[in-house]
Amino acid sequence: MRIRDVVIGANASMYYKLNFGKIKGVYYPRSEQEVIAAIKHAHSNGLTVTPKGGGSGLSGACTGGNEERLMISSLQMKEVLTVSKDQGYIDVQPGITPDKINEFLTPMGMRFYIAPSSRDIATVGGILSTDGGGNDTWVHGTIRDKTRRVKMVLYDGRLLTIDVNGVKSSDPELETQLNKIGMSMHDVASSHGTLGFITELRLSIGPVINETLIGGLAEFEECNSLGRALNEMIERKSPVRYGEAITSAHVDVREDLNPPLLIVDFPTDYESEMKDIMDYKPLDKEGLARMKDIRLKLPKRNPKVGIQVALFEGYGFYGDSLVHLQDRLDMINALLIDHGLTPFAKYGHGPSKWYLGDNTPTYGLILHSREIKPEDKTGPEMLDTVLAIVDLCEATGITPKPEHKWLYSDELKKKRLAEIRAIIGQGFNPFLLSPECNEVLGSMV
């Protein structure tokens, strides 16, 4: 296998233009000892380390920037190590996917309840590093809520075990230092490969839920009404098992869609509550499957003219920005148009859950976005648009979902990562915390 084979799919974002001459090696370890050997080689040769999972990331973090570096892939570390049905956990290597975990658990009547749309290729190590989830985060949380323990190799080869009780290490001084500052699973989640290489995870699992669900399709006159309906579901803690919104779709791909709309799936016991919140059309099993398929395929469709790009993923609307959803979307679309891009589609999970940089759980609507990019737009111009969107979001109470944060990660998270790295070492993905991060990623558009 060539270096290019692992690097070319380094992430699914717009940051993918790489200088292959800066990548000095790619390792495919199968065990913790092989990970340690790879990191030792990088350390002794003055190379930084970039961890890489399945290649479904949208942040650009697993590209490693433009530094001379060693890349370590987890794709050969995909074993189930232990499982305890009674205690409700499974120990796995970082390169296994949620789909493979559930394939293993199905005969036991158990399930791992984290389901990002990329669950067939995204690795659990990568999902934790970005604190990913899916359309079930409203019910089951993000992956940090399902991770009990994680093992990690640092840049100098020392080992860490992080769980709900803190940090353990074979180095007593290091253990004391990290526990003194309260390092926890919250720090590993959404760290984007800046702390170390994850070698093992203990994940919570539960019995397969058997319940009768009702599918529904609600169409709204405008997005403020959609936002208010979602806000009421959040306030009532409505048990929506699946919720996907489409707020807009370009005429080239709209077909018979009538956005804004919300696709929902919920237990029959809550039918009267859902009718109280919004008007919806019941969907039978086939109708619900069709709407889910339309939603999944929407970002894969292309305009008749121009290039579709994922300019800014993961708009997080909550609180005031959720109940004024249409007003905020109008501002975002006006900004895009001013920068020469055409809004193409916006869709995503709602109600949903994510965490802010201070680890506060937040509930609202996560919208993914696609735009039509003019052919003459340069990388720096695209980056300028992203930074303008960041400023607008900060001014209007919109937050990015953590798995899409870089290069606009909130300052609290960056400060916390810098505090930990000052103790454990700074050899993993240093470009992400560098003042030149924006410039580096801009060169990769």
Q: Are residues 199 and 240 in the same domain?
A: no
Q: Are residues 21 and 90 in the same domain?
A: no
Q: Are residues 353 and 319 in the same domain?
A: yes
- Does 227 fall in a domain? yes
Q: Are residues 127 and 234 in the same domain?
A: no
In angstroms, the CA 322 to CA 78 distance is 39
- Does 430 fall in a domain? no
**pLDDT value of residue 249:** 94
Closest by Cα among 403, 400, 437, 295 to 57: 403
Q: Are residues 283 and 192 in the same domain?
A: no
Q: What share of the chain is helix, strand, coil (3-state, %, to 5)?
A: 40, 25, 35
For residue 288, give every residue at least 6 positions away whose Cβ sits within 8 Å of its Cβ, in sequence order, or none: 215, 263, 265
**pLDDT value of residue 390:** 87
Beta strand ranges found along 86-156 (DSSP E): 89-92, 110-111, 147-153
Beta strand ranges found along 220-304 (DSSP E): 242-249, 261-267, 281-283
In angstroms, the CA 246 to CA 330 distance is 15
Residue identified by tokens 């579709």 is 308
Q: Are residues 220 and 368 in the same domain?
A: yes
Q: Are residues 148 and 176 in the same domain?
A: yes
Q: Which long-range contacts (CB under 8 A, 24 or more apart) does 130-134 make?
A: 130/57, 130/59, 130/61, 130/190, 130/192, 130/402, 130/403, 130/404, 131/189, 131/190, 131/354, 131/355, 131/402, 131/403, 132/403, 133/349, 133/352, 133/353, 133/354, 134/349
- Does 346 fall in a domain? yes
N-to-C CA span, the chain: 26
- Does 143 fall in a domain? yes
Range of the domain at 69: 3-75
- Does 431 fall in a domain? no
From first to last of its 445 residues, the chain has per-residue pLDDT tens of 565 555 555 677 777 777 888 999 999 999 999 999 999 999 999 999 999 998 887 788 888 888 899 999 999 999 999 999 999 999 999 999 999 999 999 999 999 999 888 888 899 999 999 998 888 899 999 999 999 999 999 999 999 999 988 999 989 999 999 999 999 999 999 999 999 999 999 999 999 988 999 999 999 999 999 999 999 999 999 999 999 999 999 999 888 889 999 999 999 999 999 999 999 999 999 999 999 998 888 888 889 988 888 888 789 999 999 999 999 999 999 999 999 999 999 999 999 999 988 899 999 999 999 999 988 888 889 888 988 998 899 899 998 765 566 666 688 899 999 999 999 999 999 999 998 888 888 888 8
In angstroms, the CA 391 to CA 398 distance is 10
Q: Are residues 290 and 330 in the same domain?
A: yes
* pTM for the model: 0.93
Return the ∠ at Cα 110 (arms to 109 and 112), rounded to 5°: 150
CATH of the domain at 306: 3.40.462.10
Give the domain-ending residue among 14, 43, 75: 75
Q: Are residues 385 and 291 in the same domain?
A: yes
**Amino acid in the structure at residue 293:** D
Angle of helix 325-338 relative to helix 223-236, nearest 10 degrees?
130
Q: Are residues 268 and 293 in the same domain?
A: yes
**pLDDT value of residue 66:** 86
Q: Are residues 251 and 388 in the same domain?
A: yes
Please tell me the total count of domains within the chain: 3
Distance between alpha carbon 115 and the CA centroid of its chain, in Å? 11
Edge-to-edge strand ranges of the sheet holding 69-73 = 23-27, 69-73, 48-52
Give the domain-ending residue among 18, 52, 75: 75
- Does 304 fall in a domain? yes
In angstroms, the CA 172 to CA 187 distance is 20
Q: Are residues 163 and 311 in the same domain?
A: no
Give the domain-ending residue among 75, 95, 119: 75
Closest by Cα among 43, 92, 360 to 196: 43
**Amino acid in the structure at residue 415:** K
Task: Evaluate whether 201 touches 149 at the Cβ level (below 8 Å).
Answer: yes
In angstroms, the CA 315 to CA 359 distance is 18
